[in-house]
Amino acid sequence: SPPAKAMVCFGNMFMELPKQQTKEMLQKDQECLDEEIPSLRRELRGKVNRLYEAQGKAELKGFNLKPMSSEEMKLINRILEG
């Protein structure tokens, strides 16, 4: 039997690719995003603080908070579910 195919949209064009290749591409993309997001968040904090400083405003309070990880969220949900 022919290998399983998936329809994938790139821009405004659809392509049919093997499912395994599509899955690997999506996983690699997600890994890159998972690395890039925390870096962008860290940079944003500094930029916002510089902006506030330039405007003569006090530094934002609570802006240095970090989001909970998925592991921490799972633990919280287990506790809440009892």
| pLDDT tens, residue by residue, 26-58 | 999 999 999 999 899 888 888 988 898 899 988
Distance from C-alpha of 52 to C-alpha of 63, rounded to nearest angstrom? 12
Percent of the chain with pLDDT over 70: 96
Helix (H, G, I), strand (E, B) or coil at 69: coil
| Average pLDDT estimate for 65-82 | 88
Q: Is the model's pLDDT at 7 over the cut of 70? A: yes
Say what the pLDDT of residue 26 is. 92
Q: Which residue has the tokens 């006090």?
A: 58
Amino acid found at 5: K
